[in-house]
Structure 1
Amino acid sequence: MGPDDHPADPDGIREAARAIRPYLPRLLDPATATRLDRALADQLTTADQLTTADPTATDRLQTLLAGNDDTAWFLTAVLTDTPHFRPPYHQPRYLHRQTGGRATPAGDPGPIAAARYTCPHGDYTWYRPDVGTPIEDCPTHHIPLVHG
């Protein structure tokens, strides 16, 4: 997938770039994950300082994410989750697979949506997998993430 193959929502691209950062070590080898994380953080911080409507900033983020099959898959999965733009691992269709595809018992609401936390500077998004997991700090700014 190239950067022009998906006429995507700029908000979705930015959210995918923020949301993929915690998953990069699972998707890529350590050196590549570190390089891409740094590049995404730099682009997101710069784009936030310029304007969130800057199309070239969004294009650069899309190009970075489209540069690897696994990150391109992640981007596509996030973009198909309009208007929520959640990571694939927190989308209902993927949660269904994680439960083995079995129907939930009567009265069981099924998987509960994970709480979303973001860096106040806008370059990192993390989904809390369960209430017992401590809330992370932003790896770029080393400040607490905020709910929202």
Structure 2
Amino acid sequence: MTFEPDDILEAGRSIRPFLPELLGNDAVQVDKQLAELLAQAKAGQEVDKQILEILKSQPDTRNWIAEFLSEKQVSKGFEPLPGKGQAISAQKYICPQGDYVWYRRIVGATIPICPTHGVVLIPAAQ
């Protein structure tokens, strides 16, 4: 299956908060690699294939990325209840430098700091 480069970059940004849970001790190294590649992407380099390869290299990140890039992206918000209604999206926060994404799934959850730049994430434009 082929994915759009922008979707892969967004997946690379979005998985970063979950790396400790997914990879344990390996999370720091993978996060560093992703941060470097995302900085290169911001500078105009094509790095989407490298990001995808990193994320496909571990079973847990491979499963996460498969779900994120699927047609039905549960990780980006909430699924609707059965019957009539609409899905409620989780609020998206981004690093002003563009390499880290976090979704606020619980009202009142503390907005994290970007691990790369040490700044508080800001709400993404709707």
User: For the Cα contact (< 8 Å) 1:12–1:78, is it kept in 2?
Assistant: no
Structure 1 residues 68-115: Cα deviation after superposition (integer angstroms, max 9, x where no partner): 111111111111147xxx5x43444xx46xxxxx747x8xx5763210
Residue identity in the other structure for 1:33: A
TM-score by length of 1: 0.73
Pair 1:28-2:23 in alignment: yes
Using a 3 Å threshold, how does the CA distance of structure 1 residues 110 and 132 change in structure 2: closer, same or farther? farther
Residue identity in the other structure for 1:147: P
Residue in 1 aligned with 2:34?
Answer: 40
Structure 1 residues 8-35: Cα deviation after superposition (integer angstroms, max 9, x where no partner): 1111110111000001111112x21111
TM-score by length of 2: 0.85
Q: Which runs of 5+ in 1 are unaligned?
A: 1-5, 97-101
1:59 to 49, 58, 65: 49
For 1:66-105, list aligned pairs within 5 A: 66-81=56-71, 88-92=74-78, 95=79, 103=82
Structure 1 residues 103-135: Cα deviation after superposition (integer angstroms, max 9, x where no partner): 47x8xx576321000111111000012221121
Q: Larger Cα Rg: Structure 1 or Structure 2?
A: 1
The alignment of Structure 1 onto Structure 2 pairs a total of residues equal to 124
Higher RCO (C-alpha under 8 Å, 6+ residues apart): 1
Q: Which runs of 5+ in 2 are unaligned?
A: none
Residue identity in the other structure for 2:120: P
Paired-residue identity, %? 34
Note the aligned Cα RMSD (angstroms): 2.3
Runs of 4+ in 1 over 4 A off after TM superposition: none
Residue identity in the other structure for 1:132: G
